[in-house]
Structure 1
Amino acid sequence: MKLEGHHKGPHRYRGRGGSKVQSKIWRRGAISYDSSDQTALYIRMLDVRVRSQVGFEPERRSSHPYLRIDFRTLHTRLGYGSSSDGSGTERRVHRLLSFQRYLHSSRLLRGISQQIPLHILDEDYNGQAQCMLEKVGNWNFDIFLFDRLTNGNSLVTLTFHLLNKYGLVELFQLDMVKLWRFLVMVQEDYHNDNPYHNAVHAADVTQAMYCFLQEPMLAKSLTSYDILLGLLAAATHDLGHPGVNQPFLIKTDHYLATLYRNTSVLENHHWKSAVGLLRETRLFSHLPAEDSLNMERELGSLILATDISRQNDYLSRFRMHLDKENLCLSNASHRHFVLQMALKCADICNPCRPWELSKQWSERVTEEFFQQGDIEKKHKLEVSPLCDREANTIGNIQIGFMSYVVEPLFAEWARFSDSRLSQTMLGHMGLNKASWGGLQQEQTAVSEEAGPSATDAENAVAGGSSSKEIPQGSLES
């Protein structure tokens, strides 16, 4: 197998008709890019600039102070995701090493013979992690435990395992060195300072996507191409998420909002970041150019479907198909639409997990909301709905989210795939909703036992009444 090294200048490869095509490959810093692909280059350059500096100067000038601060640096300054003993130091990833050199430089493999066969990729997880992978299709799969067992490499390990499990590496003749580099770079480009939108969330969504791909309705209809696309979309669907939502980026005049004209800003960013990594690693460079471009477009179509602001559009279309019973999975466009709905379900399936897992995710996503609210307060901005930690609780946010977003979607998914898994998910969601309701009642009882406040007493004397409304707001990601 030919290992990919550093290269400069002209690069020749054979096109679809067998003729030699010449394309200049340039390197800028740690980036390989095709001179004809300015969009992918721009995204990669912006991302590297943000991650490599304490503060950054945006491409488009703006007077807003937030734009000169790295998201993760700001979180650290506010005291989140860091510790005084330095335990939060980022893990060093050897991005530009070939896979063989990466293996040989690993502490786990020091002292082992240099003749390491590439099939070690199939055996690189053992013990408890291997036992968990044997049950990767179980809905109660504990991704938090798996991430600890893989030393923080759950996304790389899980995604590679699933691609190999389906035989996609061999079927699509994927270079394992390029594939491994791609997955490592994907995992690295998630901001693990984010409480929720990080690589563990991506791994969790990928595992959920695998569960949906195994559903009888899909397992007998999807092609290998569909499965490859679905798994890659799940792994990259939140790539480079900054830990704040789209309205925040728009109201702070962020360069991403301008770049994508305030439309599906985060989802476009995730998609273009994924395309940038695919092209940087040249994972599909052996495929005809037209096929590779089609794959990138369809990957984008899946990722863009996760925009929560378009939830009702997709749900209405899904409901209409089910009412008319006209979904035909032998039709490629219908299969793609079902993949979109499966990814949407996988993305917000946390309330449908067992309580022990669902509660952890609820706490994480709420903390990310609250961190955004803290940033908004710090910079004298209007606090976004659900982001004020003094006015909201985890329970009321989750009950609203389940009632208005999750339940309608999973009810229609159960109509489409009336399986044991669908009933299990609906059952968990009902129990979790009741659990949050119980916790809310306990908190209310404790507040009442604490006695009325001075303001409440004044209102009572004046004959008035005091009530505190729970804001519902928007749940945009």
Structure 2
Amino acid sequence: MEVCYQLPVLPLDRPVPKHVLSRRGAISFSSSSSLFGAPDPRQLSQRRGAISYDSSDQTALYIRMLGDVRVRSQVGFEPERRSSHPYLCIDFRTLHTRLGYGSMSASSSPERRVHRLLSFQRYLHSSRLLRGIPQQIPLHILDEDYTGQARCMLEKVGNWNFDIFLFDRLTNGNSLISLTLHLLNQYGLVELFQLDIVKLWRFLVMVQEDYHSDNPYHNAVHAADVTQAMYCYMREPLLAKSLTSCDIILGILAAATHDLDHPGVNQPFLIKTDHYLATLYRNTSVLENHHWKSAVGLLRETGLFSHLPAEDSLKMERELGSLILATDISRQNEYLSRFRRHLDQENLSLSNGSHRHFILQMALKCADICNPCRPWELSKQWSEKVTQEFFQQGDIEKKHKLEVSPVCDREMNTVGNIQMGFMTYVAEPLFAEWTRFSDTRLSQTMLGHMGLNKASWGSLQQEQPPVSVKAEPSSPGTDAEGGAAARRDGNTATGGTSSKELPQGSRES
């Protein structure tokens, strides 16, 4: 049996008030007794949010819960069952040990079937449970110094130099949960939409869990970074006075889930290995569709919006998908040209719901690839992380005699040339138009940082030995996320943009 709980915190040997023990969201057990020895686990599974062991014991340990509490035992409990369909699944963590790719396109055996709306990350977790492999879940306890520093950082969450890496350390790897909940509370959205706090906790924990922590770039920290950037953009004067509460909650949730269950490889990789997702979405916006559907799955599983009228709930799911799908870089020219036409014709009206939604799409696209616009200390870290992920994919492709995807060959590319190409052909055209829309101090700051970062990469390039580059460094097969991430999802495989098309797109009207 295992209980998943995170973060913490009253010291031992402190009396626990009765009103605290009755709270939803608390677990208490006697420190003098066996951890899970008292009640019947079946009774615990029926409790909503609080589990108390011997609450009269004044030495009880009180644990604040940051996420959903799940009690599982080897006898009497089974993983949640959902309707199933086959996953022509590549285990990206063990792919490098495979002898070949022949088995990947074969039909799945019964034991390889997974449940609808079950992410690849959850599939691995449930598979380990069914095979009797113990799941290593550390007990996350932070002292008050760390949590206090995290709270201080959240007071400045609107600053563009917000250090998401430091915040993630201070929250013990829970930056996405902590940041998203803080923003929802700051806008009063929990109360306004009458969100059940237990369902909200569970949703946020599941979202964070479904990001692959072993991805160097596409992980929960990236999602938290994009969410913080999205908040900065929504605070810009033009948007702050125009966005509705629905716009704001959709913007925050879309940012938090925009890369949900990202496998750490790009779309061309999924296509050329006949992955189930590529077949399901017909080789079109494969990863973006998967991120959206994964988010919808968690919304429905937790019932976060189940109290809303069905029509409203479905509308929010559709608009969430529209925002996430906008991060498909293969449609970069389409969105950029439309944005430019609106700005040239000066016909954007933020009192119009469809126009506000379009601006939210553009804001999310900017947030997703804003890494070159961060201060050098942050931007450089993101650039190195995304390049590491590129090269890991390239190593797998070489090992299995597959064509190496653009910018994924570590022998032909460097962090610097990838970044400079990305900034020139993807980031600069987009942020130039965003500055036309919202010419504020933040926009000028972002352009200033990007110029300095580009110059810094240029200087580093001159200091490094020359590299023979076969693929153009500006080829942007990406899902539009972060710094060099502009090549990450590789949507060019669907007939999307190329490095030569982007400059042309930037001149279209």
TM-score, with length taken from structure 1: 0.74
Say whether the 8 Å CA contact 2:257–2:295 is kept in structure 1: yes
Structure-2 residue corresponding to 1:471: 472
Are 1:63 and 2:64 an aligned pair? no
Are 1:139 and 2:160 an aligned pair? yes
How big is the shift at 1:443?
Answer: 1.1
How many Å separate the matches in 1 of 2:266 and 2:93?
22
Amino acid at match of 1:475: G
How many Å separate the matches in 2 of 1:212 and 1:53?
36
Amino acid at match of 2:102: S
How big is the shift at 1:145?
Answer: 0.3
Are 1:228 and 2:230 an aligned pair? no
Structure-1 residue corresponding to 2:428: 407
Sort the Cα spacing of 1:341 and 1:138 in 2 relative to 1 into closer, same or farther, 3 A: same
Query: What's the CA shift string for 1:187-224, capped at 9, x where partnerless?
Result: 00000110000000000000000000000010000001
Unaligned runs of at least 5 residues, structure 1: 8-27, 56-61, 73-88, 94-104, 110-122, 449-466
Structure-2 residue corresponding to 1:328: 349
How many Å separate the matches in 2 of 1:372 and 1:51?
13
Query: What's the CA shift string for 1:104-135, capped at 9, x where partnerless?
Result: x97569xxxxxxxxxxxxx9983110110000
How many Å separate the matches in 2 of 1:199 and 1:46?
23
Sort the Cα spacing of 1:429 and 1:66 in 2 relative to 1 into closer, same or farther, 3 A: farther
Give the SS at the match of 1:226.
Answer: helix
Sort the Cα spacing of 1:274 and 1:383 in 2 relative to 1 into closer, same or farther, 3 A: same
Identity across the alignment (%):
76
User: For 1:67-466, what aligned pairs fall within 5 Å after superposition?
Assistant: 92=137, 126-444=147-465
How many Å separate the matches in 1 of 2:227 and 2:294?
18
Structure-2 residue corresponding to 1:18: none
How big is the shift at 1:154?
Answer: 0.2
User: RMSD between aligned alpha carbons?
Assistant: 3.2
How big is the shift at 1:92?
Answer: 2.7
Structure-1 residue corresponding to 2:482: none
Of the three residues 11, 31, 34, the one matched with 2:80 is: 31
Sort the Cα spacing of 1:211 and 1:65 in 2 relative to 1 into closer, same or farther, 3 A: same
How many Å separate the matches in 2 of 1:270 and 1:366?
21
How big is the shift at 1:474?
Answer: 3.5
How many Å separate the matches in 2 of 1:51 and 1:375?
12
Query: What's the CA shift string for 1:70-119, capped at 9, x where partnerless?
Result: 999xxxxxxxxxxxxxxxx98638xxxxxxxxxxx97569xxxxxxxxxx
Structure-2 residue corresponding to 1:23: none
Q: Which has the higher helix share?
A: 1
How many Å separate the matches in 2 of 1:419 and 1:32?
50
Sort the Cα spacing of 1:250 and 1:469 in 2 relative to 1 into closer, same or farther, 3 A: closer
Amino acid at match of 2:263: P
Q: Structure 1 stretches (4+) deviating beyond 6 angstroms?
A: 49-55, 66-72
How many Å separate the matches in 2 of 1:392 and 1:178?
45
Structure-2 residue corresponding to 1:454: none
Sort the Cα spacing of 1:424 and 1:170 in 2 relative to 1 into closer, same or farther, 3 A: same
Say whether the 8 Å CA contact 1:139–1:208 is kept in structure 2: yes
How many Å separate the matches in 2 of 1:318 and 1:185?
34
Amino acid at match of 1:63: G
How many Å separate the matches in 1 of 2:346 and 2:328?
26
How big is the shift at 1:6?
Answer: 6.1
Sort the Cα spacing of 1:108 and 1:358 in 2 relative to 1 into closer, same or farther, 3 A: closer
Sort the Cα spacing of 1:318 and 1:90 in 2 relative to 1 into closer, same or farther, 3 A: farther
TM-score, with length taken from structure 2: 0.70
